[in-house]
């Protein structure tokens, strides 16, 4: 206990003693400068009354390679004036201001119109006697000087050619001031139906310019286009370590990629193994092409070796049949053409269609009685009751009843006329009788 507490006491006094003899403190700060700024490296020291700094014992140095070279020497207040060391005069004299410590204990190096090479690690170096009887001691403190500059929007960005066919290549040119540090240019592609940019090229700064810290990067990039790139927009962005993600950018106009037509695909709707007279059918031709394809239909009737007809329809991609006939049998060819590539080989697809007479259907039709109608569909025969038959029956019945009633009426009419005559006759007879009676009465 005793020993250890004593040793701690010793250590503490020793530490206090040492720290009191080396109590001079330096304060420097890192500097980030931008375009148009001046670099100000400021070394502020604090010392106690015992400590003595020699005349020209304060220096600003800069790291070159592995060691620090003096730039300027300063004296404590009331000492000799500050100056730039001989070897550095050509580099600094014209654009450097030195402020020696006065009341404010700061040795300041001000570099105007900084160059890119002014970046780097600077060091404030102070040589002093900590205590009258002690040896010289040196205290240092560093200032990291860095240039920063925001990336600028690309000055030029374009690609050529503007129109091209798939699998050909375009050249993208982008030039931008990417600022500093660690600037780069990125080329992005934004697909037509998806707004997420896709990074396709990145070009980093490879050399440091000495005269101007801002980096200007030119990209000359060759890109092979696919048909999916049709309608895509390219973007060139300029960024550096100061930007979070992509920096300011410029976009290209939309790219137009000519492609196709591919070999057309012919679809039959409904799709069946056999088609029969009376079926409906849509024959459709589809293919992928940009600009959109132009279709031409050709029909070669079955059994007629020479005749070929060009079929037209309002929707050129389709041929529509409401009721197939046997004469619709034959080969249908669809040719797709791309207006932009007329000289390339036209692509054609064909389909053979045979429209059957249904044998079963004809036999079946004989089975349909007089009150049913024979309908053929899908090779089957259906005897459908004719909806006009009941109506006809009703009409016939109405007509018959009308005729019958007319006959009855006519018969009645003629019958009543005969009866009238008889009555008249009887009346006459009766009158006659009566008169006879009467004539008899007076008698």
Ligand X SMILES: *[C@@H]1O[C@H](CO)[C@@H](O)[C@H](O)[C@H]1NC(C)=O
Site for ligand X, rule CB under 6 A: 40, 42, 44, 90, 93-94, 99, 102-104, 106, 108, 119-120, 166-167, 169, 171, 173, 177, 181-182, 184, 202, 204, 207-208, 211-212, 214, 220, 224, 241, 296, 303, 337, 342, 345-346
Indicate the DSSP class of residue 230. Answer: T
Minimum distance from residue 325 beta carbon to ligand X (Å): 15
Smaller CB separation from ligand X, 40 or 340: 40
Would you say 122 and 39 are in contact if contact means Cβ atoms under 8 Å apart?
A: no
CA–CA separation, 78 and 18 (whole Å) = 29
Of 155, 62, 77, nearest to 109 (Cα)? 62
Minimum distance from residue 177 beta carbon to ligand X (Å): 5
The three state secondary structure string of 111-125 is: ECCCCHHHCEEEEEE
Minimum distance from residue 57 beta carbon to ligand X (Å): 18
Would you say 122 and 62 are in contact if contact means Cβ atoms under 8 Å apart?
A: yes
Smaller CB separation from ligand X, 164 or 319: 164
Would you say 103 and 118 are in contact if contact means Cβ atoms under 8 Å apart?
A: no
Smaller CB separation from ligand X, 238 or 337: 337
Token pair belonging to 410? 């006519």
Token pair belonging to 305? 């070796």
Minimum distance from residue 178 beta carbon to ligand X (Å): 11
67 to 70, 71, 172: CA distances (angstroms): 10, 13, 45
Minimum distance from residue 40 beta carbon to ligand X (Å): 6
Smaller CB separation from ligand X, 119 or 376: 119
Minimum distance from residue 368 beta carbon to ligand X (Å): 28
Burial 373-393 (b: 16+ CB within 10 A, else e): eeebeebebeeeeeeeeeeee
Separation of first and last alpha carbons in the chain: 195
Minimum distance from residue 342 beta carbon to ligand X (Å): 5
Smaller CB separation from ligand X, 48 or 155: 155
- What torsion do the CA atoms of 357, 361, 362, 364 make, to the nearest 10 degrees? 170
Of 149, 146, 158, 148, nearest to 218 (Cα)? 158
Question: Other CB atoms closer than 10 Å to residue 36's CB: what's the count?
Answer: 7
Minimum distance from residue 102 beta carbon to ligand X (Å): 4
Smaller CB separation from ligand X, 45 or 249: 45
Of 181, 175, 173, 223, nearest to 205 (Cα)? 181
Smaller CB separation from ligand X, 132 or 342: 342
Smaller CB separation from ligand X, 129 or 144: 144
User: 358-363: which pairs have CB atoms within 8 A and are 24 or more residues apart?
Assistant: 358/276, 358/277, 361/276
Minimum distance from residue 142 beta carbon to ligand X (Å): 15
Smaller CB separation from ligand X, 265 or 398: 265
CA–CA separation, 167 and 152 (whole Å) = 33
Residue 307 burial class via C-beta count within 10 angstroms: exposed 0-12, middle 13-18, buried 19 and up: exposed
Cross-strand bridge partners of residue 39: 111
Minimum distance from residue 23 beta carbon to ligand X (Å): 18
Smaller CB separation from ligand X, 331 or 372: 331
Would you say 119 and 47 are in contact if contact means Cβ atoms under 8 Å apart?
A: no
Minimum distance from residue 13 beta carbon to ligand X (Å): 32
Smaller CB separation from ligand X, 69 or 386: 69
């Amino acid at each position: 206990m005793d020993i250890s507490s004593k040793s701690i006491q010793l250590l503490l006094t020793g530490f206090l003693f040492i720290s009191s003899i080396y109590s001079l403190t330096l304060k420097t700060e890192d500097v980030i400068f931008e375009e148009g700024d001046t670099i100000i490296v400021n070394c502020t020291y604090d010392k106690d009354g015992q400590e003595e700094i020699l005349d020209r014992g304060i220096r600003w140095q800069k790291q070159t390679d592995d060691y620090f070279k003096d730039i300027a020497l300063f004296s404590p207040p009331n000492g000799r004036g500050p100056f730039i060391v001989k070897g550095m005069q050509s580099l600094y004299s014209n654009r450097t201001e030195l402020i020696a410590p006065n009341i404010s204990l700061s040795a300041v190096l001000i570099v105007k119109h900084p160059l890119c090479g002014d970046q780097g690690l600077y060091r404030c170096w102070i040589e002093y006697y900590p205590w009258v009887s002690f040896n010289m001691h040196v205290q240092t403190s560093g200032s990291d000087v860095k240039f920063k500059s925001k990336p600028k929007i690309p000055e030029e960005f374009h690609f050529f050619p503007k129109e091209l066919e798939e699998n050909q290549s375009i050249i993208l040119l982008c030039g931008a001031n990417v600022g500093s540090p660690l600037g780069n240019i990125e080329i992005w592609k934004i697909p037509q139906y998806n707004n997420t940019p896709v990074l396709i090229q990145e070009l980093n700064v490879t050399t440091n310019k000495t005269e101007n810290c801002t980096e200007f990067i030119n990209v000359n990039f060759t890109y092979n286009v696919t048909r999916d790139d049709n309608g895509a927009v390219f973007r060139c962005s300029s960024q550096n370590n100061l930007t979070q993600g992509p920096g300011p950018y410029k976009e290209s106009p939309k790219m137009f990629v000519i492609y196709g037509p591919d070999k057309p695909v012919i679809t039959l709707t409904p799709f069946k193994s056999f088609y029969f007279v009376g079926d409906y059918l849509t024959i459709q031709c589809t293919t992928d092409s940009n600009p959109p394809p132009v279709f031409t239909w050709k029909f070669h009737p079955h059994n007629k070796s020479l005749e070929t007809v060009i079929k037209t329809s309002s929707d050129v991609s389709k041929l529509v049949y409401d009721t197939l006939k046997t004469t619709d049998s034959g080969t249908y060819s669809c040719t797709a053409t791309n207006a932009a590539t007329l000289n390339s080989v036209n692509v054609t697809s064909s389909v053979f269609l045979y429209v059957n007479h249904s044998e079963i259907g004809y036999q079946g039709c004989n089975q349909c009685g007089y009150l049913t109608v024979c309908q053929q569909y899908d090779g089957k025969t259906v005897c459908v009751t004719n909806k006009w038959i009941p109506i006809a029956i009703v009409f016939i019945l109405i007509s018959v009843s009308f005729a019958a009633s007319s006959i009855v009426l006519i018969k009645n009419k003629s019958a009543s006329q005969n009866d009238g005559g008889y009555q008249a006759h009887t009346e006459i007879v009766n009158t006659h009788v009566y008169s006879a009676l009467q004539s008899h009465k007076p008698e």
